[in-house]
Every structure is written in C-alpha cells, then in structure tokens.
A and B are shown apart, each in its own frame.
Chain A
Amino acid sequence: MKNKLIELKDLTKNFDDQQVLRGINLDIYENEFLTLLGPSGCGKTTTLRIIAGFEEPSSGEVLFNGIEISKLPPYKREINTVFQKYALFPHLNVEDNIAFGLNLKKVDKSVIAQKVGRMLKMVGLEGFEKRDVTLLSGGQQQRVAIARALVNEPKVLLLDEPLGALDAKIRKNMQSELKKIQREVGITFIYVTHDQEEALSMSDTVVVMNNGEIQQIGSPTDIYNEPENRFVAGFIGESNIIEGHMLQDFLVEWDGFRFECVDKGFPENEEIEVVLRPEDLDIVSPDKAQITGKVISVTFKGVHYEILVETEYRTYMVHTTDYAEVGRKVGLSLGPEDIHVMWKMGAY
C-alpha cells in the first residue's frame, strides 16, 4: 500500500480503574477505508476518540504523518468526525452547518458558497441550503453531517457508527454511498461499527477488536476466511469451532478424523481450533463422508436452511439450500479449503 498516515503505538487508556485499551498498535494508510469492528465496550470508539483528539491516551503515541499528536487539541488536527447522532447545530440551517468550519477559517464568502454547493451535490441534497436541520430525516441529517466534515478537506474522516440510527433499507443505501464518496474524495476513512456485515462490505481493512485489544487486522476476505482465533471466527459470521490437533503441515485431526487442509506453519501436534463455516459444509449420504450424524433440527432462513447435525462427538451447524428432514442419517463432506485452522485463544 501507500504511505502510512496514522500510527498508533502501544496505546492504552484507563477510565478510573478500568482499562479500556490494552496496547493498541495500528498503522493506517492513505486512501484506506479502515473499519474498527467489535462488540460494544471493546474500545473501538475510544480508539476513534483518541485519534480525533477528544480523549488523551493514558500511554502510547499517536503519530500523524510521523508527528506525535496525542496532546494536540481536536481543532488543530487535519481530521474531521461524523458523529453517531450527527451532532448538527440546531440553531443553524443546512448551509451554515456545512460552512461552520470554513467560516472559522475566514474563507471568502463566495468560495464558501461554492464549496457548500459542491458538497450538497455530492451527498445528494442539492437545494437544501436553507432548510432547518432539525426538520430533516435521519438519512438527510447524516448526509449533512458528512458534508460538514468533508468540506474542510480533512486528510482523515472518522465515522462513529454513523448508520446506527438509520433503518435497514436506508442503511444499505448509505453503505454503498459512503464507499462511493470515499473513492471520490480519495481520503482515509476510519469507520467504527459493531455490524460485521457493514464492516465486510465496505472496508479495505478490518480491525477486529475485543476487550481493548486488537484480535486481527486484515482484508474482509482474510478476516472471514482465515480468522486468527475463536473470537474473530465467532464474531464474524456463524461458525462451527472445533478443538483439534495439527498433526503436521496440511494435516489436521479432530474427533479421531484426519483431514487434509491448506494451513501450515504450526508446531507438530499443536492444539489448535478449527473453524468450519456452516455454508462450507455439504450434506451427503452417510457412506460418502467421514463425519456422520443425525439431523436434529431444520430451520428455514429464507435463502437457505439451517440444519443441525448431531454426531457422536458434537453438533454441526450447516447452511444449505438442500432440505433434509429431521431424523435422517446424513454425512458431512468438506474439502481442504473449507477447513480454517487457527491458534487456540490465549496461545500467543
């Protein structure tokens, strides 16, 4: 990738006696759409607020273009934020909200009008200049908030769960629109969300966080297909997580079965965990598979069935478009590329 824009080094943060961040190390690049993903209370919003300057880290460094900025107040940073509840100024109309930053910089009035107009066009709110922001819909307020931040031409845009308050349909539209805007303005977006689908569909890089620590950094496909540990596998999509052993490179064993896999580099006989995505498992006749069991439940989910297959050792979750009635004896087939081996939690 290109140049490093922001570097977080050993960032920690304590609120009273509670440790919210436990050593965050993260490089953020130019033009990157990076998402901080994790359950509530994982420290993702705190990380964002430290980058924005609303919080000071308890220890560690924030480098922006190689310069330490963790003590710099927010108004001196080339970073703008889109807030969770938009935080539009209720006493100003759409135009004055967007022009707020430019007015502070004493930019020429005609230049302001021109820039505000261009922003409104980009977010699809042409002609809304004089509207009262409190009378706009949630989606429209969100667009104004994005325009208000981007008009200052920041190097980085921070977005704190910006779609959280919107309903499902508008959310989907805004997702693709945000991605489009990011490509158009060509700056770094740092996006905070607890919605794994949102993270996977929009980001270049996903940072999965839990308990104040980074669990995994990677592209959406890496995160989904090669989760590094049980937490990531469990948080992103649904999965069967099975304890087993890595016998040697490309050979894994669990429940007494041996499977070929595509993973290597683990010590011999290392205790590991295997992730099997429910949609990677196929239901076949019992004589065609190593793993056999009995269907104990079938749930219709719209696109697929969710079938639970109970074997001698454990229950597997399968997503398939094929129907199998409860009580039938079935086999589960899986190929080497369907097996994702990961380190056991706490092993590193």
Chain B
Amino acid sequence: MKQYKHLIKPYIIWAAALIVVPLIMIVLYAFTEEGNSVLTFSFTLENFAKFAESTYVNVIVKSFRLGIFTTVLCLLLGYPLAFIISRCSEKSQAFLILLVTIPEWINMLLRTYAWMNLLSDNGIINNLLEMLGMKPVSMMYTDFSVIVGLVCNFMPFMIIPIYTSLSKMDKSLIEAAYDLGANRFQTFRKVIWKLSIPGVLNGIMMVFLLSVSTFVIPKLLGGGQYMLIGNLIETQFISVGDWNFGSAISMILAVIIILFMRLMKKMDTQEE
C-alpha cells in the first residue's frame, strides 16, 4: 500500500489549486478594501458592516425563508412518495426511482426554461385555462413560480435518501411492531419514522443547501427583481464588480450553512 501513497499527490495539488486557493482568495477579498495591488493590502471589516444594511439582511432572511419553505414542501411531498415507492414490488421500485431521477439527466437550465413555458402568461397552463373558458392567471415572477421551480428541481434530493433508508429497513421490524400491539399509525410513528430519520436529515440538508444558495432558478422564474442571496452574490461579482463585498456575502452564507450542518449532525447523532 505504502508505495502507492505518493500517487495521491497530484490530487492534493489539484484540490489545492482549485478549491483551497479560491477559498483563500475569497477570505482575502472579504477582509480587504477595493483596489488592492498584489503586495499592499489594507484590511477592513467594512464589507461585513455593509451587509448589516436592512436591504441585504432582508435578502438573506428572504433566502432562508424560501429555503426552509422549499425544504418543508419537499419533505411533505417527498416522504409519502418515498414511502409508497419503498412499499412497491422490487421491480416497480427500480422503475419508479428511475422516473424520479430522469429529470436530473436534463440540464437544470432546460428544466427551468420548461417551467417558464408552462407558467408564463401565454404558456401552456394559461392556454389550457383559456380553452376551458377560464381567466388566465399570472404565475410567472412570483414566489409561487420560484417555489415550483425549486421544489421540482430539488425533490429527487429529498426522495432518494429517504427512499434508501426506508427500503433498506428490515421488514420484519414492522411486523414485530404489529406483533407487539402497535397499529398502523403507531408502527409508523414508533418504528418506521424513527428509523428513517437519518435519511430525512440527509434530504433536508441537501435540499436546504441547494435552495438557499441557488441563483439560476429565482433569476429565470422570479425575474430580475427577485433577489436571493445567490443572486446578490452573482450580481456583486458579475454586474456590480464589487468582488470584496461579494466575497463577504459568500463568507456569511458559508458560516451560516456550516452552523446549520453542525446542528443537523448533532440531531443525527442524538437520534442514534
């Protein structure tokens, strides 16, 4: 084994160049003033102070609210689906899981454009409504359209871990619960749900992280006015050109996410 150890070196270099260096750059940018040259830095906390403005705080609050809402919705819709799939015959399980993952084979951008086609003012849904003699509904560029896009895009990340934990559960545990006097509801609450919690936590973590940092979906389905923290960072880098402020926001987001993940880990280990 030992002689293969140095084979890892290229990967360390690769990881350092593409992950660690950019991270250091972000930290450096976040704590320095605009217009530094390579050798002279002037450190400052101004970028973070700038964030304390209510407009920006509102953006982060909105992002988290939307992230939490999307996650809860994915959980409420995804858990029953994962549960039903895990109760199907083995053959149909494989097929249904394939159906769940198929959308992920198509680029996220395309999927989101497809939703735009469906939801827009003269899109498919409104055309159908018109054919049925009903008034068209304006759905694009609202919380609704953004949440639809987020939920649809991130649902598989909730379903798959929950399904995995449910399907690998020993079926005789469920029979044992019935046998010991638990009815269907008690069996679910005291055994099935409890044993699926690791999957649920994984799903929550994935969907929350994805939806809180997303910027493509709110941009396309929410329009230019729809500002989430991901969009805020994007505009700082791409249109405003204030890399220092953009880096500071990225760091704030990263810290909050790390705290959140620690919290989830703690819940996970407590369950066990």
Interface residues of A (CB under 8 A from B): 52-54, 73-75, 79-81, 83-85, 87-91, 100-101, 104-105, 148-149, 152
Contacts and interface: CB of A to CB of B under 8 A. Distances in A.
Residue from the set A88, A90, A149 with the largest chain B CB neighbour count within 10 Å: A90
A85 B170 contact: yes
Nearest to A158: B179
B181 interface: yes
B271 A105 contact: no
Contacts of A54: 175, 178-179
Nearest to B271: A91
Contacts of B50: none
Nearest to A85: B172
A80 B179 contact: yes
B178 A75 contact: yes
B181 A87 contact: no
A255 B109 CA distance: 87
A138 B181 CA distance: 25
B175 A91 contact: no
Given A87-B173, A89-B173, A105 B179 contact: no
Contacts of A85: 170, 172
Given A75-B181, A101-B181, A152-B181, A87 B195 contact: no
* Closest 3 A/B residue pairs (Cβ): A101-B180, A87-B172, A87-B176
Nearest to B194: A91
B181 A89 contact: no
Contact of B180 (A53, A91, A104): A104
Given A91-B195, A91-B271, A91-B272, A152 B180 contact: yes
A81 B170 contact: no
B138 interface: no
B182 A104 contact: yes
25 contacts: A52-B179, A53-B178, A73-B183, A74-B178, A75-B180, A75-B181, A75-B182, A75-B183, A80-B180, A81-B175, A84-B172, A85-B170, A85-B172, A87-B172, A87-B173, A88-B176, A89-B177, A89-B191, A91-B194, A91-B271, A100-B180, A104-B180, A104-B186, A104-B190, A105-B181
A263 to B, nearest CB: 44
Given A75-B178, A100-B177, 4 more contacts: A54-B178, A75-B181, A81-B179, A83-B175
Contacts of A75: 178-183
A75 B187 CA distance: 10
Contacts of A84: 172
Nearest to A104: B181
Contacts of A88: 176
B165 to A, nearest CB: 12
Contacts of B191: 89
Nearest to B169: A90
Contacts of B183: 73, 75
B167 to A, nearest CB: 16
Contacts of B176: 81, 83, 87-89
A54 B177 CA distance: 12
A79 B194 CA distance: 25
A92 to B, nearest CB: 8
Given A54-B175, A74-B175, A104-B186, A87 B180 contact: no
B184 to A, nearest CB: 8
A101 B190 CA distance: 11
A148 B177 CA distance: 11
A87 B271 contact: no
A81 B194 CA distance: 22
Contacts of A89: 173, 176-177, 191, 195
B175 A87 contact: yes
A74 B179 contact: yes
B177 to A, nearest CB: 7
Interface centre among B177, B178, B180 (most CB of A within 10 A): B180
B87 to A, nearest CB: 15
Nearest to B171: A87
Interface string B118-158: 00000000000000000000000000000000000000000
B169 to A, nearest CB: 10
A74 B180 CA distance: 8
Contacts of B271: 91
Contacts of A79: 179
A52 B272 CA distance: 30
Of listed A52, A83, A152, residue having the most chain B CB within 10 A: A83
Contacts of A80: 179-180
Contact of B172 (A73, A83, A105): A83
Given A85-B170, A87-B170, A73 B178 contact: yes
Contacts of B186: 104
B22 to A, nearest CB: 41
A152 B180 CA distance: 8
User: Which of A73, A91, A152 lies at the interface centre, i.e. has the most chain B CB atoms within 10 A of its CB?
Assistant: A91
A88 B170 CA distance: 10
